[in-house]
Structure 1
Amino acid sequence: MKIAVLLTCFNRKNKTLACLKSLFSIIPNCHVYLVDDKSTDGTSEAIKQNFPQVKIIKGDGNLFWSRGMYTAWKEAIKGCYDFYLWLNDDVELYPFFLQELMVCMSYGKNKCIVSGLIEDFEKTKILYGGSDKNKKLVQPNKYPQEITFMNGNVVLVPAYVVSKIGIIDPVFHHDLGDVDYGLTAIENHIKVYSTREPIAFGYSNHFCRVRKWNTTLIQRFKKLYSPLGSPPSINFYFRRKHFGLIKAIEFIAYLYVINLLPDFFVEKIFGNTYKDK
């Protein structure tokens, strides 16, 4: 079984090294394709010193997560791999992670996608994995559960799926690339499952992308249109692709309204909905 591991990183040297250490302690012979999106903290140098087997692909500083993963995957598919493993560099894997992924993969006869549940460091709550059709975060269960909205922290994709739907859509810059890939799979009759239990621990990154608080209107829209925000053109593309033109128009209108309204008004209507968690 040949596995290509895909990562993208930027200025998280210690986290990236810890992630790679956990990976190679479990799968010492895997092939890692890592995009360093122009880090300035010595990430590439440290990786070369500690893990010289990693294939480092240099980014231009403007790839962010989705386009970084697309770049890594585009390089990896030149090889002949049975599986592609997405891996966020801010998680540390449990020793049984691959075994759990493969058991869950067997439910779909190696023709599905499996997204690993990720818990916090205290092992008190699930942070990522994916959500059901009601956007409720999937929790541990005796059996793998079907996911509608997938998180891309630790995801196993077989070559079969790539042959059917390709790799990550490069239209997505930072956000939504993982959700889009999962929805595209489902629309092509490919199931997306969660693992039965957490397979790694990581960090919570639940901050609001659609609205910035305590700032000027200009700064708020500047953040909205940035890769780390929620760019309207990308949102429109995503929603039209999966939910239709009317839903896409409605969402973009809504996005503009909540950014045009002052803080106190949005807080009065929506409470803490659009604040960082």
Structure 2
Amino acid sequence: MIWIVIPVFNRKNFTRECLLSLRKQTVQDFKVVIVDDGSTDGTDEMVKTEFPEVILIDGGGDLFWTAAVNMGIQYALDHGAEAVMTLNNDTLPTEDFIEKTIEASKKDPKGVIGALEIDVATKNVIYGGEKIDWVLATTKNIIDGIPAPKQTGLHPVSWLPGRGLLIPRAVFEKVGLFDAARFPHYYGDVDFTHTALRNGFPNYINYDAKLMTYPEESGDRKNKVKKNLKNYYNHLFSIKGGGNLKDFTRFTFKNCPFYFVPSYLLIGYLRRMGGYFVH
């Protein structure tokens, strides 16, 4: 039994479509927990009326992604969950997504397993896994080095995003929940999965489990659509800024081998400050 945890704030229509896609799964051996953090668009009533099988938790209105996910995870663990999947509401799992994820988990029960992400509009792969090179302060997109016929099955990676992320109970028992104190919104998933890896739980991306996503719905993507000083500031310092320098610094000191910290920080700062204008 997988417990799927979905944090939401407004965007009722995305939540509805996501839940409908879960109803279409070829395998139905899962429970869904939604943590609604103060939605004002009728999300809670929609879930209660249209999806009575879903467990709805009131987040209180002052959470961000990481704390909301933790609330749902804790609920699932308290009710006996042996595996938890985190999922965003702006995703559409393909019909065999859960089935393929369960099949993959049987190959390595200790593994933390992520999904191949595909743009809903273009049908292009937008995330196929990464490996970190601390020396050069770069990440390698592993799918670029895998021929199309071999783009299947499990592939080891350095970390994973929280969209469609399957986590065995043993991981939480070893490393705890997501680090909401340091990473309230961004980096919470990347930090958690890399921490799991350092503690003996390998990270895999599963090319057989496909997750349709809406990349333009990212909070930081919206900062980059219209470039101005306010959005530049938000990109670097806002809690929902993808280039948040404070979060990046905390992640570096927590995860980077200490002898590479100075160079990793310097290169990372320059990329976040300059990259805003070229993407």
Q: TM-score range by the shorter chain?
A: 0.7 to 0.9
Does 2:14 align with 1:12? no
TM-score (norm 1): 0.82
CA distance in 2: counterparts of 1:111 and 1:244, whole angstroms: 24
| CA RMSD, Structure 1 to Structure 2 (Å) | 2.9
Say yes or no: does 1:78 pair with 2:78: yes
Unmatched tracts of structure 2, length 5 or more:
134-138
Tell me the CA shift for residue 43 of structure 1: 0.9
Residues 107-144 of structure 1 show CA distances to partners (whole Å, capped at 9, x for unaligned) of 32x11111011111256321235312352334372331
* Shift in Å, 1:245: 5.6
Residue type of the partner of 1:127?
I
How does 1:50-89 map onto structure 2 within 5 Å? 50-89=50-89
Residues 41-120 of structure 1: matches in 2 within 5 Å?
Answer: 41-108=41-108, 110-120=109-119
Count how many residue pairs are aligned between Structure 1 and Structure 2.
Answer: 262
Alignment partner of 2:228 out of 211, 214, 223: 214
Distance 1:220 1:120, change over 3 A: closer
Q: For 1:31, what is the secondary structure of its paired residue?
A: strand
Corresponding residue number in structure 1 for 2:30: 30
The separation in 2 between residues aligned to 1:190 and 1:209, in whole angstroms, is 34
- SS for the counterpart of 2:166 is strand
1:199 alignment partner in structure 2: 210
Q: Does residue 274 of structure 1 match 2:273?
A: no
What secondary structure, in the 3-state scheme, does the structure 1 residue paired with 2:153 have?
Answer: coil
Q: What amino acid does structure 1 have at the position aligned with 2:207?
A: R
SS in 1 for 2:154: coil
Letter in 2 for 1:157: I
1:155 to 147, 162, 165: 165
Contact 2:98–2:209 (CA<8 Å) still a contact in 1? no
- Tell me, what secondary structure is at the counterpart of 1:150? coil
- Distance 1:246-1:214 versus aligned 2 partners, 3 A rule: farther
Range that drifts further, 221-230 or 139-148: 221-230
Q: CA deviation at 1:159?
A: 1.5
Give the CA deviation at 1:46: 0.7
Residue in structure 1 matched with residue 237 of structure 2 by the alignment = 225
- The counterpart of 2:141, out of the listed 131, 137, 141, is 137
TM-score (structure 2 length as normaliser): 0.81
- Contact 1:129–1:152 under 8 Å retained in 2: no
Counterpart for residue 165 of structure 1? 175
Using the alignment, how far apart are the partners of 1:115 and 1:75 within structure 2? 22
- Provide the rounded CA distance (Å) in 2 between the counterparts of 1:117 and 1:257: 29
Instruction: Give distance in 2, aligned partners of 1:187 and 1:209.
Output: 33
* Residue 154 to residue 256, structure 1, CA distance change in 2 (3 Å): closer
Counterpart of 1:59, as a letter, is G
1:210 Cα offset (Å): 9.5
Whether the 8 Å CA contact 2:77–2:169 is kept in 1: the answer is: no
Q: 2:44 is matched by which residue type in structure 1?
A: S
Partner of 2:136: none
Q: Secondary structure at the match of 1:149?
A: coil
CA separation in 2, counterparts of 1:94 and 1:258? Answer: 34
Gap change, CA 1:251 and 1:42, over 3 Å in 2: farther
Corresponding residue to 1:238 among 232, 251, 269: 251
The amino acid that maps onto 2:140 is K
**CA distance in structure 2 between the aligned counterparts of 1:17 and 1:138, rounded to whole angstroms:** 33
- In 2, the alpha carbon distance for the partners of 1:33 and 1:249 equals 41
Write the distance in 2 (CA, Å) between the matches of 1:225 and 1:251.
19
- Give the SS at the match of 2:155: coil
Aligned-residue offset at 1:156? 0.9
Moved more, 160-169 or 76-85: 160-169
Structure 1 residue runs without a partner (length 5+)? 260-265
Q: Is the 8 A contact 2:152 2:206 kept in 1?
A: no
